[in-house]
Amino acid sequence: MIAITAKGVQVFLILALTAFTVSTIVLAVQKSNLKSDLDAAQKLLDEFEEAVKQTTVTSTTTTATVPQTSVSTTTTTEKIPETIDYRLPKTVAPELYDLYLHPNLETGEFEGQLVITIKVLENTDKIILHSANLDIAYVYFTNGLTVKSFSFDLDRDFLIVESTDELKAGSTVRMGINFRGHEMHTKIVGLYTSAYKKADDSYKRIFTSKFQPTYARQAFPCFDEPGFKAKYLVSLVHPKDGNYHALSNMDEDTNDLVGEFRQVTFKQSVPMSSYLACFLISDFVAESKTVETNGIGEAFQVSVYATPEQKEKVIFALNTAKAVTEYYIKYFQVEYPLPKLDMAAIPDFVSGAMEHWGLITYRETALLYDKDYSSTVNKQRVAQVVAHEIAHMWFGNLVTLKWWDDLWLNEGFARFIEYKGQHYVYPDWNMPEQFLVNAIQPVMKFDSTLASHPIVQSVNSPAEITELFDTISYEKGASVIRMLENFIGEDKFETAVTNYLENYKFDNTVTDDFLSEIEKLDLNINVKDILRTWTEQRGFPMVNVKQTSPTTYVLTQKVFLANKDDHALINEDDTAFKYRWSIPITYYVDGVEQELKWFYYDQEELTIEVPSTAEWVKINNKQIGYYRVNYDKEMWDKFASFLNKDIKVMSTSDRAHILNDVFSLADADEVNYDIAFDMMSYLGKETEYVPWKVAATKLSALKRTLMFTEDFKAFKTFAKNVVEVIYKSVGWTVNDEEVLKNRLRMTVLSLACSLGIEDCINEAKTKFATFLEKGEKPHPDLREVVYYYGMASSGSEEVWEKMWDIFTEEQDANEKAKLMDGLSAIQVPWILKRFINLAWNPENVREQDYFTCIQGIAANPVGEPIVWEYVRENWEEMVRRFGIGNRYLGRMIPAIVGNFDSETKLGEVVAFFEKYPIAGAGAASREQALANIKVNIQWLKSNLNDIHNWLEDNSIY
Ligand code: BES
Ligand code: ZN
C-alpha cells in the first residue's frame, strides 16, 4: 500500500512492506532539500521503489532496524570485549548536513530526514558514518549514484553504506538518509524530552539534545568525531500550539505553518563538530541584552531562556554572560562568529552545562538565580558555569581538538579562563584564591594515587572518551595552564592564545599546535619540553628543602604519593622523565618575592642562595606550581610561629597553601602529624574564607576517619577548640553583599555543626522547627546547614515525611537540592532505605539528580552500609537503567566506598568488581576506589598513633 499525502511543504510517502525487511518506511522530502510538487514526489517514488528493491536484497544479511541498544548492551553478560578500533576511516568527509527533525513530544519518537554533502578524499565504494539506536528506513544518493547496500557494525555504531560505483577522490556526493528514533522520554542524552510542572499543576514537555561526546549519532546519522567539521542546515518541526517555539545554533530563517505543526528552518551554520549541534523546542521565555564588541565583530544579542514560571531568575546569568563575553572578546581579540548567543535552563540535564555553539544549555541550578532561593554558593556556581561555557565558544568550538585525546586542553583551558572571566566581572570574589580550594588542591589529592593517569591519555571507545571528562582533564589541566601562564607571563600567554585562535579558526588542532604558538614568542625556555614532564606523567613532585648553611637551601625532588607503599610499585622507567619534573621554583625570602628559578627534571638538585639575615623561605608562591614542598621541622615550626605573631606575613593564598601541603604531607607520612596539628594553632587568628576552607575540609575528613576509633572524643574536643573562635565571630546573620564572608560562614557553620558544637546544633534545630512548623525559611545561605543538621539532630519519621512532601512539591532546583540533601541526614536506617527506594522513581528524583541523592545518603555514616548493600544488590538493574557507559554510574562507586578503611571492606569491593568485571565508563573510578581504601588503611597504620600521642601531649584527654 502506498499513500501519498502532499502536506504543504512536505510530501510523505508511506509504504508498508512485509517480508524480512523494514516493516514501515517513511520517506519525507523537505522543501529545503528538494522540491515540493507532486512531480517530484513521483520521481522520488520511482527512486524509492528502486531503493527498496536494493534494500530488500541486502537486508537478508543485515536488519535495517537497529535494536534499542548501544554501549549498555553489554550489561552484565560479563565478557570483556576485545580491543576494537572505533575510529571512522578518513576516506570521505562531510561538508554539509541538511537535517530535518520532527520529534513527537507525545510518543517520544522522532522522524528525521537528512542529506549529507560529502567530499570524497580517497577512491572508495563505501561511506562509513555513525548511527546508533536509529531505524534507518532508506539510504540514497541524489546525484546519479546508487546505494548497493547498507549495513551496521553495532559494536562501533557504524552505518556502512556501499555504493554500486566507486566514488572518486575529489568528487562530491549527496547522500540522503531517512530514519526514525525512539525512547526520547526515557533518556537524557542524544535527543530527549524533559518535563516540568506548570503553575496549574499540569506537566509541560519540551524537547532538546545533548551530544557531547558521542551522542549525536543517536539523533541522526553523522560523522560523530570532532575532527569532521561541517556546516548544518537544520529544520525542526514542532506543534503549532502550546506556545512552543524552536531554537538551534543559528538564527531562524523561515517559519511555516504545516497543518498542526510549524516547520522552522535555521540559517546555515559555520563549520562545526557534530557534538556542538543543538535543538530545543520549548515554551521558554527569554530576557536579552546586547553584547558590545568594541569593533571586534558586530554587536549581537545574548539571551537567557527559562520556563515562563522562572522568567525572573535569568537576570543574574544574563548580566554575567554579557560582561564575561565582552571580556573574552577583549582578551581573545577574536570576534564571536555567530549572529546570536542563546542560553537555556533545561529541567533535566545530564551534566552541569554544555557549550553548544550559539545555544548553550544548562542544568537549572547552573543558570537560574533567585535571591529568595539561591545561596552565595549557588550564585557563584552560575557565574562559574556561564564563564566556563562561553569560553568554549572560542576555545573548543571555533578551534576544536582533532580527537578526544587532547580533551584536557579544551576543558582545562575553559576551567582556567573561567576564573579570569569571573574575576573580571566580580573582582571582590577573589577568584584567584578560590582556585586553590576548588581546583588545584582537590585534584592534587586525586593525583597522588596510582589510580590517577597522565593528562594526555589515548582514548578510543565511547566509554573511554566519556571517562576522560574527569578532574585530571579539568582541574589538573587548568592547574598546569595556570602554572604555564605564570612562568611565561600573562601578556605573552594572552598573545599566544590570540594567535592560536586566529591561526586555527574553524579548524582542528592538537595540543602541540597550542604550545607552538607559545614557542613562537621570544622565550628563553623550552616550553614543550617543560610541559611534557607535566602532561605525560601521572602525579607530581614533592620538593624537599634543606638548609645547608645560613645562606643556602638545597632542593631535591621525588614523586609524591599519598600511600607510601606505592613507592615500591612504581617503576621509574615507565615514563621518559623517570617521575621527575621540570619545576618552576618561585619563592619568598622573608615574605619578599624572588626571581623564578628552574629545577629541571634532569638536574640532581637546585641550590637557592639567601642573605645571611634571612629568617624564612617559603617556596611555591600562592600554590601556583603543581607540586608540594616539604621542609625541615624547624622551618615548619617557624611558619607556625610567624603566623601566630602576624598572619599577614603571608598572603591568604600562601596560608591556604601551607595548610594544604602540611596536611597532605602528614597524611602521606612525609612529616609527623604533630607538625600539622601545631600549624593549626594559628587558625585562632585566621579570618579568611580560603584558608578556613582548607582547614575545614581537613577537619571534617579527620572527623570521618577517626569516627570509629577510640581517639574520636579527644579529637572532637580539639577540633571544637580550633573552630570555637571563628564560629562565634561569623554568627548567623547573612549580608548578601559579603560574598566571601558568606562562604566563610557556611563553611564554619557546617563544620561546627558536624563537630557537634552545641550552640550550632541548637540554632540549626530551632530554625529547622520554625521552617517545618511555620513555613518560615531561613536565609538561603543558611538553609543547607539548617536542613541538614536540623534533620540530623531532630529528624523523626513524621519530620522526614513532612520534609519529603515539601521536597516533592518544590519547583526551584536550588531549593530542591538543599531539601534533598537535608533528607539524607536522617539518622534512622529504615527511613534512609525508604529514601533510596523512593529516589529510584524519576517522578520523585529526576534522573539528573539520582546519583547526587544516592551519594548524599552514603555520606551519612548511617546510610553508608545501606547504600553499599543496595548498590551491590541492584547493580544489574542500575546498569540496565543508566548504561555501563554512564560516567556518573562509574563515579558513584568511589563516592560510596571512599571512607572504607579495612581489609574486610576492601575485600568486599574487590569481590564486587570481580563479580561484575565490565566497568564501562567506570574503569578508572574502580581503580580510584581501591586506591583510596588502601590509602585509608595505610593512613590508620601510620598516623593514628601520632595523633593519639599529640592529643595526649596537648592534654586534650
Ligand atoms: N563540555 C562540558 C560538558 C560535558 C561534560 C560534556 C561531560 C560531556 C561530558 C562542559 O563544558 C562542562 O565542562 N560542563 C561542566 C560544568 C562546568 C562549569 C565545569 C559540567 O557539566 O560538569
Ligand atoms: Zn567545559
What are the residue boundaries of the structural domains of the chain, listed by start? 2-281, 284-394, 395-539, 828-957
**What's the pLDDT score for residue 82?**
60
Higher-scoring residue by pLDDT: 70, 343: 343
d(CA 348, CA 191): 12
d(Cα 892, Cα 908) in Å, to the nearest integer?
16
Residue nearest atom 3 of ligand 1, based on CA coordinates:
354
Residue nearest to atom 17 of ligand 1 (CA): 385
CA angle 364, 390, 536 (to 5 degrees): 105
Q: What radius of gyration do the chain's Cα atoms show? A: 29
Max CA distance (Å), the chain? 98
Cα angle value 541/467/409 (rounded, 5°): 60
* pLDDT over threshold 50, residue 836: yes
Q: Do domains 284-394 and 395-539 have the same CATH topology?
A: yes
Per-residue confidence (pLDDT) for residue 955, from 0 to 100: 76
Residue 916 φ/ψ, nearest 5 degrees: -120, 75
Mean of pLDDT values over 134-140: 97
Closest to 820 measured CA to CA, from 793, 866, 777, 851: 851
Q: What is the pLDDT of residues 357-393, one digit of tens each?
A: 999 999 999 999 999 999 999 999 999 999 999 999 9
Summarize pLDDT for 689-742 with one digit per residue, the tens. Answer: 999 999 999 999 999 999 999 999 999 999 999 999 999 999 999 999 999 999
Cα of 408 to ligand 2 centre, how many Å?
10
Cβ burial, residue 822 (10 Å; 0-12/13-18/19+)? buried
192 band by pLDDT with thresholds 50, 70 and 90: very high
- Please list the active-site residues: 389
Which residue's CA is the nearest one to ligand 1's atom 21? 352
pLDDT in tens, 54-76: 333 233 223 333 333 233 333 33
**Average of per-residue pLDDT across 196-222:** 96
Kindly state the percentage of the chain with pLDDT values over 90.
Answer: 89
- Ligand 1: atom nearest CA of 387 is 18
Mean predicted lDDT score pLDDT of the chain? 91
Ligand 1 test: best mutation among 464, 469, 851, 852, most atoms within 8 Å of CB? 469
Q: Check residue 143 and give its pLDDT.
A: 83
Q: Is the pLDDT of residue 23 over 50?
A: no
What superfamily would CATH give domain 284-394?
Answer: Neutral Protease Domain 2 (1.10.390.10)
Q: How confident is the model at residue 199 (pLDDT cuts 50, 70, 90)?
A: confident
Ligand nearest to the CA of 363: 1
Instruction: Give me ligand 1 centre to Cα 951, in Å.
Output: 44
Give me the DSSP letters along 778-805: PPHHHHHHHHHHHHHHH--HHHHHHHHH
Is the model's pLDDT at 40 over the cut of 60?
Answer: no
CATH code of 395-539, in short, is 1.10.390.10
Q: Is pLDDT above 60 for 48?
A: no
Return the residue whose CA atom lies nearest to atom 1 of ligand 1.
354
Give the residue-averaged pLDDT of 604-628.
97
Question: Counting beta carbons within 10 angstroms of the beta carbon of residue 107, is it exposed (0 to 12), middle (13 to 18) or buried (19 or more)?
Answer: exposed
**Distance in Å, CA 412 to ligand 2 centroid:** 8
Residue 1, pLDDT above cutoff 60: no
Q: Is the pLDDT score of 38 beyond 60?
A: no
Going from the Cα of 415 to the center of ligand 1, the distance in angstroms, rounded, reads: 10
**Best residue for ligand 1 mutational test, from 275, 351, 394, 411 (most atoms within 8 Å of Cβ):** 351
Separation between Cα atoms, residue 321 and residue 145, nearest integer Å: 48
pLDDT score at 771: 97
Query: What number is the average pLDDT over the span 316-332?
Result: 98
Q: Mutate which of 214, 349, 354 to test ligand 1's pocket (most atoms within 8 Å of Cβ)?
A: 354
Q: How far does the centroid of ligand 1 lie from the alpha carbon of residue 302, in Å?
A: 20
pLDDT > 70: what percent of the chain?
91
What average pLDDT does the segment 309-314 reach?
Answer: 96
Task: Tell me the three state secondary structure of residue 548.
Answer: strand
Give the mean model confidence (pLDDT) for residues 749-771. 97
The ligand 1 site (C-beta within 6 Å) comprises 212-213, 351-355, 384-385, 388-389, 392, 411, 414, 469
Cell numbers standing for residue 679: 600549624
Residue 311 has a CB neighbour count (10 Å cut-off) of 16
**Closest C-alpha residue for ligand 1 atom 22:** 352
User: Is the confidence at residue 22, as pLDDT, over 50?
Assistant: no
The dihedral sign for the CA sequence 331, 336, 342, 344 = negative
- In this prediction, residues 493-511 reach a mean pLDDT of 98
Q: Residue 957 has what pLDDT?
A: 63
Q: Whose CA is nearest to atom 16 of ligand 1?
A: 352
Work out which ligand 1 atom sits closest to the CA atom of 363.
21
Ligand 1 closest atom vs CA 466: 9
Which ligand approaches the C-alpha of residue 387 most closely? 1
Contact 722, 955 (CB under 8 A): no
Of 28-37, 185-194, 258-267, 469-478, the range with the lowest mean pLDDT is 28-37
CA–CA distance, 754 with 699 (Å, rounded to integer): 10
Q: What is the pLDDT of residue 574?
A: 87
CATH code, 2-281: 2.60.40.1730
Given 1.25.50.20, 3.40.50.920, 3.40.50.150, 1.10.40.30, which CATH number is that of 828-957? 1.25.50.20
Structure confidence at residue 685 as a pLDDT band (50, 70, 90): very high
